[in-house]
Amino acid sequence: MTISDRLVIPSPAALPTRLRWLSALALALLCWLAFFHGLGALGLMDKTEALFVEVGHQMHQRGDWVTPWWNGERFFDYPVWGYWMVALSFRLFGVSEWAARLPVALAASAVVVAAFLLLLVWPLAAEPAQRRYGRALLGAAVLATSPGWIGWGRTSTTDMFLSSAISLALFGFLLALRHPHHPRLAPLGRIGLAGFSAVAVLAKGPVGLLLPGLVIVVFLSLTGQWGPWLRPWRLLAMALLFLGVCLPWYAAAAQVNGMAFLGGFLGFSNLQRFTSVIYDHPGPPWFYLPWVVLLLLPWSLFLPAAIGATRFWSWSRWRPAAASAEQRAVAQLPLVLLLWLGLMVAFFSAAATKLPGYILPALPAGSLLVALWWQPIPANALASDPAAEPNPPPGWPLVVSGGLNAALLGLMAAAAALAPRWAASDPAHPALAVALERSGLPLRMALLLALASLTLALLLRRPGGGRWLWVPDLAGFLAILALVVAPLAPLLDRERQLPLRQLAVLAQQQALPGEPLWVVGTKRYSILFYSGATAAFVDGRRSIAKRWRQDPAALGISPSSRSLRLLGDRRELEELGIAPQAIERLGRRGEQELWRVPLGVLRP
C-alpha cells in the first residue's frame, strides 16, 4: 500500500464539519424533492406500474415469495427482486401507493448518494475539500434532476431496480479501480460489483450481469489493466457472493414451477424479447438516441461537448505512457463513463423489442459525464493548489450548448402556458383542462422556465458567466419539483385516476356470483389492484369471439355465469354494439362507465 493510497480519503476530523453536514443536508433535500415529495399522491399508473405493483401485492397477500402471480396466473415476465421489495414494503407500511413506490425511490436515491460518494473519493488526495465536495454535489444533482431518473424513481416498475443495481455494480468496479490497494475501499468495491450484479440478475435476468460485465471487459481490454482482476481467489470470492445472492431463488423457482418457469422466463422474457418484437414494441436502430436526449434534458444538451472533451479517439488517452498509476486512474473516469453510456445504448439498440425505460441504466453515466465537463478532476499538480481552478468548459461548445439550453427552456415555457388548451382535446377527461387552468400551475411552470431561460441568456452575455450555466438549470428544475410537480400530482389524481378507482371498487361491490369482469379497450391493469379481483382484458367483438371459442375460462366464464360486467370508456363500450335495452348502467365517472349485460349478448 502506497502513501497516496493511505491519504486518498482524509479522516473525518480533517474535513470541515460544516461542509460535511451541509453536503448531507443538500443530498437529503435533493432526494426528497426528486423522489419522495408527494410520492403517494397519484394513483397507480396504467398499465406497466399497475401490473408490476399488483404482482408484489399478490405476493404479499399469498405469502408466496417464490412464484410471482398476476390476475390469477403465474407470471414470469420478470424475476423476483422488485416484487420482493414491493411486497416487503406492503408488509412493513401497509398497502398504499406510497408503499408501492417507496422501494424505487430508495433505489434511485441510493444511486444519487453513491454517485456523490464516488466523485468525493475519486480525485487526488491533495485536492481542497471545498472543490471536491462541490463537484460531488454537482454530479449528484445532475442525476437527481434528470427527467428520466425522476420519472422512473417515482414509478414502481422493474426498470429502476435493474438500473440502480447495474449502476451500483459499476460504481463498485470504479471504486476498486481507483483504489486497488486500499484496505477497505478495494474489497468494498469488489463486494459491491458482485453483490449488485446479483441483484440486477434478480431484477431482470441475465442482462443484469451481461451489461456491467460488457462495460468492464471492454474497458480492461482497451486499457490493458486485467492484472488485478484476474487473481483466482478474488474471482472465486466474487463468484461465490454473486451465486449466493441470486442462485437460491432461481433454483427454488425452477424446482417449484419446472418448465413453466424455464420456458416462460428464460425463453420468452429474455431471448425472445431481444431477438423479436413482443407486446407490439418495435423501434428503429436509432430509437434510443432521442430518448437519451429527452430523459437527460436539459443536461443532455451539453453531452456532445462532454463526450468530445474525453478525446476518446486518441489511443494515448486509454494507455498514457508518462503518467503515474494514480494519475492514470484519476484521468480514466470519463472514459469509463463514456463506455458505460455508449455500450448501454448500443446493446439496447440491437434488441428487437424497444421501450424508453430500457435505456435507464445509461443515465447515470451521461449525468456524471456532463458534471465532469463542468468541473473536471485534475490529474496533476493543479489539484493541490487551492487558488487554481480546473479548466472551464471550452468556449464555442459552451456557447452553442448554452444557447440551445436557453432556447429550449423558452419553448418549454410557452408549451407549459398552453398546456390547458392541449388538455382540453382529451375526450376521456374533459374537466382536466379547466382544473389545470384554475390551479395556475401551468402558468407557474411557464414563469419558472422563462426565468431560467432569461438567466441563461444573461450568463452567456457576461464574460466568464458561461461556466455557471448549470446554476439556472438546477435551480429552475428544483423549483419546478417543489412548486409545480408536487401540487400537480393530486390534481391529476383527482381528474384522471380517482374515477377509475371508484369504478373498480364499485365493480367489486356489484359483482354477482360467477359474474366475470371485462375491461374493454385500454388495458387498465390498476383495476385488479383497486378491486381486489381478477378481470379479463378484451378489445372488440371479433377478439372476444375468438377467445371465447378457444377458452371461455380465460374470460372468466363459468357454468354459473349469467351476466357480464363491462368497464371502459363510454366510446369503447358503445363500439361493442350492444342494444341499449340490454344494458344495465351500474355507474359512471366522467367518460368511464360500468355496465352489466346478459352473457348471451356477446356470445359468438
**Cα 104–chain centre separation:** 8
Cβ contact 354:273 at 8 Å: no
**Cα 350–chain centre separation:** 20
Residue 103's CB is within 10 A of a number of other CB atoms, namely 22
Q: Which residue has the cell 478474488?
A: 234
The kind and range of the H/E element at 549 are: helix 541-550
Kindly compute the dihedral angle of the four CA atoms of residues 469, 401, 35, 156, in this order, to the nearest 10 degrees.
180
d(CA 572, CA 566): 10
Q: What is the pLDDT of residue 424?
A: 54
SS3 assignment, position 225: coil
Furthest C-alpha separation in the chain: 88
Give pLDDT < 70 ranges for the chain.
1-15, 263-282, 322-323, 380-394, 423-430
pTM comes to 0.91
**Angle (nearest 5°) at CA 269 between 249 and 70:** 70
Give the residue among 135, 142, 87, 92 at the shortest CA–CA distance from 112: 142
Report the first-to-last Cα separation within the chain, whole angstroms: 78
> What does residue 576 show for φ and ψ, rounded to 5 degrees?
-70, -15
d(CA 445, CA 489): 14
d(CA 465, CA 167): 33
Q: What is the pLDDT of residue 383?
A: 52
Please report, for the chain, the start and end positions of each structural domain, with discontinuous segments joined by +: 3-391, 400-493, 510-602
Q: Which residue has the cell 463468484?
A: 239
Q: What is the pLDDT of residue 3?
A: 38
Q: What is the pLDDT of residue 590?
A: 82
Q: Which amino acid is at 356?
A: P
Q: Which three cell numbers stand for residue 178?
A: 481507483
